[in-house]
Amino acid sequence: MGEARRPYRREPSERRRDDLIAAALAVMAEAGPGAMTVRTIAERAGISAGLIRHHFRSKEDLIRAAFAAMMDRMTETTRQVAEHHPGNPQQAIAALVSSSLRPPVMEPERIGQWAGFLNLVRQDPVMRDLHEAAYLKYRDMLQAHIQQLPGKEDPRLARHLAIACNGVIDGLWLEGGTLPHSFAPGEVERIGLSAVSSLLGIDLLAGFERE
What is the pLDDT averaged over residues 127-135?
A: 97
Query: At a CB cut-off of 8 Å and minimum separation 6, what does 106 contact?
Result: 100, 173, 176, 177, 188
Whole-structure pTM value: 0.86
Q: pLDDT by residue (tens digit) across 148-202?
A: 999 999 999 999 999 999 999 999 999 999 999 999 999 999 999 999 999 999 9
Q: What's the confidence (pLDDT) of residue 207?
A: 58
Say which CATH class 13-56 falls into: mainly alpha
d(CA 22, CA 15) in angstroms, rounded, equals 10
Domain boundaries along the sequence of the chain: 13-56, 64-200
For domain 64-200, the CATH class is: mainly alpha
pLDDT of 3 above 60: no
Summarised one tens digit per residue, pLDDT across range 134-144 is 999 999 999 99
